[in-house]
Structures are given as structure tokens and as C-alpha cells.
Amino acid sequence: MLPVLVVHGGAGNVPRQRAELSCAGVREAARAGYALLQSGRSAMDAVVEAVTLLENNPAFNAGCGSVLNEHGGVEMDALVMDGRTLASGAVSAVRRIANPVQLARLVMEKTQHLCLTAEGASKFARAVGVPEVPEETLITDYARKRWQRNLQPGSNPVECQMGKMG
């Protein structure tokens, strides 16, 4: 069996000035996750490690660098799934968490549920010792500029983010 790890940093329209940052970020995440696989760690460990690095990288729209909602806030979603047992954990509309993917894994491992949302997810995070972070630490200048641009009348946020048919 040859271990393998594949990552993505989001589909859509990557501006030229961010292309190299994006490529460097996915390479770094793939290397880190693959190193865990080579050391005998599980596929679950590897995917959570890779996604954690991507969440911490402001070049991507997850964790630090998340896009903003209509009110300029950050609400994040994450999911993990283990193919051995079909166990799964998720969080939705969670705020002030640096690494939602790690919180999703804790939902899988420490609850009988598949998904916790919004304030309930925050309460669970506090209960299991996951620290809250100031929302400002998750917001980049780039995300704020895109949010402001898409507040204009006639803007198309979906097309702005996804581009047109490839």
C-alpha cells in the first residue's frame, strides 16, 4: 500500500498576485500531511494536519483569511470523516476558533453527534478546552477589501469568488 495525501486550497478564480502563495501553501500542507503518513500515522491524523496548516495560512479562505459574511463577521464550517468506521464530526457557523477542523474532529471523538452549530459549537469548544481567539485575528485586509467591494449595488459575490465556467 502506497500512502497518499491530496490537498486543495479552493476552487475558483485565484488572482495572479496570490497564485504563487496558494501553490506554496498547498505544497507545504501536502508535505506535512504526507510526512505523518510516512511515519505510520493514520489518514485522519494526516488530513487534519494538512487542513490545519491551510487554515493557518492567510492565503486561503478558511480559518485565518476566511471570507466575511454580509455583516463583516467570520462564520466557519468544517467536517472530518474516517473511512474505517464512517465516523464523522462537523461544526457549522462557528466563530472565534482558529482551527475549526480540529474542533470538528473533537465533535467526532467526544460526542454522539455529527454536527454542532453556532453558539452550541462554541460552548462545546470551551468545554473541551479549545481556546477562543479574537475575531480580528481571523480577518485579513484582503478579505475585508473583497467584502467591501461586494457590498456595492449590482455586485455578484458568487461570481467574484468562483469566477466563470473554466
Partner 1 sequence: TVGAVAVDSEGNVACATSTGGMLNKMEGRVGDTPCVGCGGYADNLLGAVSPTGHGEAIMKVTLSRLILFYMEQGKTAADASDQALAYMWERVQGLAGVVVVDPRGGWAARFNSLQMAWAAAQNGQLHYGLGKGE
Size of the chain, expressed as the number of residues it contains: 166
* Contact between 17 and partner 1 per CB under 8 A: no
* Contact between 145 and partner 1 per CB under 8 A: no
Closest CA to 142 of 57, 30, 53, 75: 57
* Contact between 58 and partner 1 per CB under 8 A: no
* Contact between 128 and partner 1 per CB under 8 A: no
Pattern 72-111, partner 1, x by CB under 8 A: -xxxxxxxxxxxx-x-x-xxxx-----xxx--xx------
* Contact between 2 and partner 1 per CB under 8 A: yes
- Taking the least distance from each CB to partner 1, the nearer of 1 and 17 is 1
Least distance to partner 1, CB of residue 127, Å: 19
3-state secondary structure 113-130: CCEEEHHHHHHHHHHCCC
* Contact between 125 and partner 1 per CB under 8 A: no
- Taking the least distance from each CB to partner 1, the nearer of 37 and 130 is 37
Q: What is the DSSP letter of 154?
A: T
- Let me know: does 89 contact 106? Beta carbons within 8 Å: yes
Strand partners for 92: 117
Least distance to partner 1, CB of residue 87, Å: 9
Q: What is the DSSP letter of 151?
A: T
| CA distance linking residue 121 with residue 92, whole number of Å | 8
Rule CB under 8 A: which of 28-57 touch partner 1? 29-31, 33-34, 37, 40-44, 46-48, 50-51, 54-55
